[in-house]
Amino acid sequence: MKAMAIANFGGPEVFTELEVDKPSPSHNEVLVKVYATSVNPADCGMRQGFFGPRVKLPAIIGFDVSGVVEEIGESVRDFRVGDEVYYAIAHEQGGGANAEYHVANEAIVAKKPANISHLEAASVPVAGGTAWAALITRANIKVGETMLIHGGAGGVGTFAIQIAKAAGAYVYTTCGGYDTEFVKSIGADRAIDYRNEDFINIIMQETRGEGVDVTFTTVGGEILAKSLIVTKAEGRAVTVTGVAGDLNTAIFKNITIHFAHLDQTRPKLDALRNLIERDQIKPVIGATFGLHQMAEAHKKLEEGGEGMRGKIVVQVA
């Protein structure tokens, strides 16, 4: 089978196309023909060597999979040959989605939403699952609450906005001025241009000094520390990135801070499938590449900028 692998750690140019043996499933595994995958910041981090010695070179990386079950192990009970599935490969497994086939333990695999394409489905597992872990599992967002989502036009942000709205929240989000109408179109109630507006002043004015119940940070640096200023006393703050700055405001306001990452993916993907099939969530695709264009896909994600919304997906079959 064809695969895009990295022979060394470094920039997008380290990708090379390889012909490797097609894997076979063990007793509790499924062999999936990969129709599509996507590119996440974690993929770029693995390519750059941030995951350390667990990655053995040459390595096939990539975490998101949408495809069709081609073969099942003798102990598999939940899936049949021909089932359309999607899932996120566990980080400790070292990736492997950037190939024509992938073998996965059935415990992490979920049925793909029936009303979207494989390209759309491939954008969901990591980004959508992370947003669900942050807002539902950690922050436990409730009907009628207010929340601030940073980076609303990004991969995780687009899912977070839609999940928050499905949960009944009033949503503030930061984004570039060129994305304000877009984020409103997917459910944001108030869009704040982070380049030209001060989210602290706006939120404190509009909430009459109370702030929001929940803040969610998808960008690094001191954004979490600044967001604590607009988080209500007894409120919750969640981040999926590294942080910097003074977090002591959380102590004075008794704010609970959650550091979230994606785990136990199957229940989250089952829940997301329900919302997608009810048309409460629609994946946002910013760009599409072919498997042989993996280097270009990684470069596009790292460049970002105006016009880059949602997820970058890769068509494999």
Question: For 127-259, CATH number?
Answer: 3.90.180.10
First to last CA, the chain: 12
Q: Which H helix or E strand runs over 17?
A: strand 15-19
* Six-digit token string for 80: 């049949």
Q: pLDDT, tens digit, for every residue of 10-48? A: 999 999 999 999 999 999 999 999 999 999 999 999 999
pLDDT confidence of 95, banded at 50, 70, 90?
low
pLDDT of residue 313: 98
Instruction: Give me the DSSP letters along 136-172.
Output: IIIS---TT-EEEESSTTSHHHHHHHHHHHHTT-EEE
Q: pLDDT, tens digit, for every residue of 116-170? A: 999 999 999 999 999 999 999 999 999 999 999 999 999 999 999 999 999 999 9
Cβ proximity of 287 and 308 under 8 Å = yes
Q: Does domain 2-124+284-315 have CATH number 3.90.180.10?
A: yes
Res. 193: pLDDT tops 60: yes
User: Taking the domains of the chain in order of start, what are their residue ranges?
Assistant: 2-124+284-315, 127-259
Say if 2-124+284-315 and 127-259 have the same CATH topology: yes
Res. 94: pLDDT tops 60: no
Cβ proximity of 135 and 214 under 8 Å = yes
**Percentage above 70 pLDDT, the chain:** 98
pLDDT confidence of 93, banded at 50, 70, 90?
low
Res. 51: pLDDT tops 90: no
